[in-house]
Amino acid sequence: MRTTIVRCATCGNRNRVPAAGPGRPRCGACHSFLPWIVDAADDDFREVAESAKPPVLVDMWATWCAPCRMVSPALEELATERAGAVKLVKVDVDRAPKLSERFDIRAVPTLLILDRGETIARQAGAVPISVLRRWFDSAIERTTVAAPDEPADADRASS
């Protein structure tokens, strides 16, 4: 399993976070939720994105796309603000032809929100973080209602 080192914003502890797994990653020292940001492609999307417990924000981007380079830091900021409530999965469309076809990607960036593999929201084009935040939060409200079995949602990070 691929892992990344994520520094806890609350206590500074360095944590090893797996690309996929049950639950939501938390800091080993202070138990704060950690941002979960993972790259995926055709071969590992199912494991990384569709088996995730928190809703997944998919960033379909391309290396040659200038607007993608503007929206990417905003998405990472959002994933950090909403740590525990979202997993950010970044897909380079040129390395993921099957996913591009499956999600009918006609422009990059295209952002998708998946709730256990099902697309619940979609946004094409780069938008400012204030718009992303509203779009994400209104989509997520619908998933919380649909998933009352998750006690972790009661103490999820909010701002």
For Zn ion, the binding residues (CB under 5 A) are: 8, 10-11, 13, 27, 29-30, 32
Give the nearer residue to Zn ion in terms of CB position, either 35 or 109.
35
Work out how close the CB of 152 gets to Zn ion at its nearest, in angstroms, rounded to a whole number: 17
Tokens of 116: 């256990």
Asked about 65 being catalytic, the answer comes back as yes
Rounded to 10 degrees, what is the CA torsion of 128, 84, 121, 131? -20
Give the nearer residue to Zn ion in terms of CB position, either 18 or 67.
18
Question: Which burial class, exposed, middle or buried, applies to 100 when counting CB atoms under 10 A from its CB (0-12, 13-18, 19+)?
Answer: buried
Give the nearer residue to Zn ion in terms of CB position, either 32 or 72.
32
Alpha-carbon distances, residue 154 vs 18, 74, 151 (angstroms):
23, 25, 6
Neighbours of 121 (CB within 10 A): 18
Non-local CB neighbours of 9 within 8 Å, separated by 6+ positions = 32, 35, 80, 83
Catalytic residue among 8, 11, 30, 65: 65
Asked about 27 being catalytic, the answer comes back as no
Work out how close the CB of 157 gets to Zn ion at its nearest, in angstroms, rounded to a whole number: 12
Give the nearer residue to Zn ion in terms of CB position, either 10 or 72.
10
Work out how close the CB of 17 gets to Zn ion at its nearest, in angstroms, rounded to a whole number: 12
Work out how close the CB of 35 gets to Zn ion at its nearest, in angstroms, rounded to a whole number: 12
Tokens of 156: 């999820």
Report, as residue numbers or ranges, the catalytic residues: 65, 68
